[in-house]
Amino acid sequence: MNIMPGAMLGLLGGGQLGRMFTMAAQSMGYRVTVLDPADEGPSSGIAERHLRADYLDGDALRELGAACAGVTTEFENVPAESLRILAEHCVVSPAASSVTVAQNRILEKQFLAANGFGVVPYAVIQNSRNSHKLDEVLLQTHPERLPDLFPAILKVSRFGYDGKGQVRVTNATELDSAFTGMNREPCVLEQLLQLESEVSVVVARGFDDKVAAFPVAENQHRHGILDISIIPARVSPAIIENAREIAIQIAEKLDHRGVLCVEFFVLPDGAPSKLLVNEIAPRPHNSGHYTIDACVTSQFEQQVRILCGVPLGSTAMRGAAVMVNLLGDLWQQGEPRWEQVLRHPSVKLHLYGKLAARPGRKMGHYTVLAETTEAALQLALEIKQSLAC
Ligand code: ATP
Ligand code: MG
């Protein structure tokens, strides 16, 4: 049974991805109830209803499941158990099974490697018997021996984002202290690779098994946080094709029903493999925000469509786009000079309604639309510069 406009949809999470989902849902005539423990947030502030409770609160989950025709999530760290409980009451997308894999770097790497998708050489680092010595720590390497991985990045397996929970290490002694710094929580140690560039693909897969990939984004990071996305990515047609195919295959292997983003590393010519999967996110992604202004259907509208069992929208895009993230650092001298963004007729400003502008916090973004990536990038950088001073 399809869920039609007018119905109440549920959303786990109060952040900006949820806000953009809520806006897409509301513009199509749906209503939204947000479950989020925080008093206020970007999505709970605009939803019809806010259930203020823990994600594992049984009463709140039952209430949400009874009030809503379908429930989705805006972040992967939602307890998979909550999705399982909700699935007893209403449609849930994505399912607990795909979120479980995507929220845990160890399971994610094992899933990708087991299904033949290229990943960065890595080792699983976890404490056996609460040991405090590295040589007693259980190491599973794939496929390299540990010393071959250095220099490397230690990444905590759960709850890392925007480069948080990541430390660069060059030898076993540094690894040991970095691991202690992570409270000896399970981690993945990844070889630090020389990257040519980074790209990502957002795909949408419905309950009808139909799948649609958006154009490939080229992503530039600063201090581990996405800074700029350039679309279409400035890589060869073969890489574009390959990235979209891999992203679709991952969604299918995971039996994912929802929006999924696959982040890739593009390696220099001569590397054994040109594309490696960095990580996956079982939801709309920051690198897909350009779809709001540049594509026929946004990644958030796809999320609504999938949840409601209606056909996927077109992912077609005309021209080029560049998206620039606005981090809290920009507010250090007070409110940024928005006229620098707003004076351009083909630039779209998005602010998430967050009250406190902390450094590194994603406060908003803008998207520059142009005929070519060069033109979009040039204007995007000019605006960035003018906002900074
Ligand atoms: P987010 O959730 O915001 O995507 P994250 O905290 O999950 O971030 P990763 O995607 O693992 O972080 O890494 C963030 C960035 O750090 C990557 O996009 C890349 O620029 C760099 N990076 C991560 N791992 C490696 C690696 N093995 N080799 C080279 N660079 C890396
Ligand atoms: Mg990432």
User: 4-27 pLDDT, tens per residue?
Assistant: 999 999 999 999 999 999 999 999
| Nearest protein CA to atom 7 of ligand 1, as residue | 161
Amino acid at 338: W
Torsion on CA atoms 162, 168, 172, 178, rounded to nearest 10: -50
Q: Is the CB of 263 under 6 A from ligand 1?
A: yes
Identify which of 102, 380, 378, 150 has the alpha carbon closest to the alpha carbon of residue 262. 102
Dist CA 317 CA 315 (whole Å): 7
* Atom 31 of ligand 1, nearest CA residue: 192
The helices-and-strands tally (H runs, E runs) of the chain is 11, 19
The DSSP call for residue 314 is P
pLDDT value of residue 133: 45
Domains of the chain: 8-92 (3.40.50.20), 121-191 (3.30.1490.20), 197-388 (3.30.470.20)
Q: Is 224 in the pocket of ligand 1 (CB under 6 A)?
A: yes
Question: Which residues crowd ion ligand 2, with CB under 5 Å?
Answer: 263
**pLDDT at residue 132, rounded to an integer:** 45
Instruction: Quote the pTM value.
Output: 0.96
Report DSSP state, residue 313: P
**How many other C-beta atoms lie within 10 A of the C-beta of residue 185?**
14
Residue 195 alpha carbon, nearest atom of ligand 1: 29
For the CA of 192, the nearest atom of ligand 1: 28
**Predicted local distance difference test score (pLDDT) of residue 340:** 97
Buried b (16+ CB within 10 A) or exposed e, 97-125: ebbbbbbbbbebbbbbeeeebbbbbbbbb
Rg (CA), the chain: 21
* Alpha-carbon dihedral 237, 243, 245, 250, rounded to 10 degrees: 180
What is the pairing mode between strands 320-327 and 275-281?
unpaired
CA 163 – ligand 1 centroid, Å: 6
- pLDDT tens digits, residue range 24-77? 999 999 999 999 999 999 999 999 999 999 999 999 999 999 999 999 999 999
Which residues make Cβ contacts (< 8 Å) with residue 368, sequence separation at least 6? 321, 322, 323, 324, 344, 346, 347, 376, 377, 379, 380, 383
Residue ID of nearest Cα to ligand 1 atom 27: 192
CA–centroid distance, residue 3 to ligand 2 (Å)? 32
pLDDT at 147: 81
CB 100 within 8 A of CB 38: no
Centre of ligand 2 to C-alpha 48, Å, is: 31
Is the CB of 227 inside a 6 Å radius of any atom of ligand 1? Answer: no
Cβ 34 vs Cβ 43: under 8 Å: yes
Q: In what order do the strands lie in the sheet with 166-169?
A: 138-142, 122-126, 187-191, 152-156, 166-169
Tokens in use for 119? 């990943």
Rounded distance between C-alpha atoms, residue 21 and residue 196, angstroms? 33
For residue 312, give the DSSP letter: P
Polymer length of the chain: 389
Q: How far is the CA of 139 from the centre of ligand 1 (A)?
A: 22
Q: How far apart are CA 31 and CA 8, in angstroms?
A: 5
Q: Tell me, what's the pLDDT at 139?
A: 56
Look at ligand 1, atom 17, and give the residue with the nearest C-alpha: 224
In the prediction, which pLDDT does 128 show? Answer: 62
Return the pLDDT at 146: 80
C-alpha span between 115 and 182 (Å, rounded):
29
Among all ligands shown, which has an atom nearest to the Cα of 190?
1
For the chain, what percentages of helix, strand and coil (3-state, to nearest 5) are there?
Answer: 30, 30, 40
224 alpha carbon to ligand 1 midpoint, in Å? 6
pLDDT at 143: 53
Residue 56 Cα to ligand 1 middle (Å): 29
Those residues of the chain that have pLDDT short of 50 are 129-138
Q: Taking a C-beta distance cutoff of 8 angstroms, is the pair 109, 119 a contact?
A: yes
In this structure, the strands spanning 70-73 and 8-12 are: parallel
